[in-house]
Amino acid sequence: MIELKNSSPVRQIIAANKKKKNSTDTILEKLMPRLFLICALVAIFTTFGIIFTLLAETVHFFDKVSIKEFLTSKQWHPTLGNPDFGILPLISGTLLTSIIATIVAVPIGLTSAIYLSEYASDKTRRTIKPILEILAGVPTIVYGFFALTFVTPLLKSMIPSLGIYNALSPGLVIGIMIIPMITSLSEDAMSSVPNSLREGAYGLGSTKLEVSLKVILPAAMSGVIASFVLGISRAIGETMIVSVAGGANPVFSFNPTQAVQTMTAFIAQVSQGDVSYGSIGYFSIYAVGTTLFAFTFVMNIIAHFISKRFKEVI
């Protein structure tokens, strides 16, 4: 056995290599962690900036309008001579289109994800996923005119009482729009489940359907729920489809055949310059925006809680 009696040459080589290192590398080693921290803080500061902007302008709105009227009144006419500021019609229109979109997107998106993850071959998966991603990249204004000029006449042939502007048509198209998001994210979550769970279930005699629904889906539930929340949040925040095909009728109703106005559609309409800067109608934009922000914020908290509970169970 050969014994290394003197390790000083090795130490000299290591010391020489350290000296040869470019001073730029040392600077980068110290600089990059700080740069990464700054990039991480940008999102946090942006969020606080958005919240501050919304709240600062919303305070001006509630200086002139009572919170009770805003939350309980069923009339929303902020630009009339005798204005009404009840947010309920905008909330009902937003919820109606979002519920219709969820009913369409969640079952189709989830079943598509199960197929791609557990049943489709690699060739089929490589073909379908890019098509879904292309569908997700279609501009929303295109979806809006698709809803107005194709889906609405098609629905009207089956529902004669359906108006040109209604909640059903944009709700269905929003559901189609968010299917790729739910499918892609859910499929990624299911594909990340270790194969050992599949092999163990098959070894116990389970069928492919049982493995998919009773093993893979529960194991990937936190990611699946996250995809649902992102899709629903996308539906709540959609603007162009409901602006083009939903109409501008702020009425407190859950009748999908009527024209409605959502919170985002109102913001888009008023932001075009229909009201003067500094007026109560102008500040109502921020009050509606704050309400919309609160909706999505609460949804994300609920989704985080549900995902955490599923992780604990699994």
Please give the share of the chain, as a percent, with pLDDT higher than 70.
89
pLDDT classification of 131: cutoffs 50, 70, 90:
confident
CB-based contacts of 109: which residues, under 8 Å, 6+ apart? 178, 179, 180, 181, 182, 183, 186, 227, 231
Residue 20 pLDDT level (bands cut at 50, 70, 90):
low
Distance, CA of 85 to CA of 83 (rounded, Å): 7
> What are the Cα distances from residue 229, in Å, to 44, 106, 184, 232, 296?
21, 10, 13, 5, 9
Does the pLDDT at position 79 exceed 80? no
What is d(CA 232, CA 178) in angstroms, rounded to the nearest whole number? 8
Average pLDDT of span 281-301: 86
Work out the end-to-end distance of the chain between its first and last CA atoms, rounded to an integer number of angstroms: 53
pLDDT digit string, tens, across residues 170-203: 999 999 999 998 998 898 888 888 888 888 888 8
Distance between CA atoms of residues 111 and 299, nearest Å: 23
β-pair partners for 76: 85
Closest among 95, 75, 94 to 85, alpha carbons compared: 75
CATH fold for domain 76-313? MetI-like fold (1.10.3720)
Cα(203)–Cα(94) distance, integer angstroms = 48
For residue 257, give the nearest of 178, 175, 172 by alpha carbon.
Answer: 172
Tokens of 108: 């189709």
Domain ranges across the chain: 23-64, 76-313
User: Comparing C-alpha atoms, which of 171, 125, 126, 165 is closest to residue 149?
Assistant: 165
Buried b (16+ CB within 10 A) or exposed e, 143-162: bbebbbeebbeebbeeeeeb
| Digit-coded pLDDT (tens) for 135-151 | 878 888 999 999 999 99
pLDDT band at 2 (very low <50, low <70, confident <90, very high): very low
pTM: 0.82
Average pLDDT, the chain: 83
Bridge partners, residue 77, by sequence: 84
Dihedral in degrees, nearest 10, Cα atoms 108, 114, 120, 124: 50
Higher pLDDT among residues 186 and 313, named by residue: 186
Please list, in sequence order, all residues whose beta carbon lies within 8 angstroms of the beta carbon of residue 218, skipping any fewer than 6 positions away.
310, 314
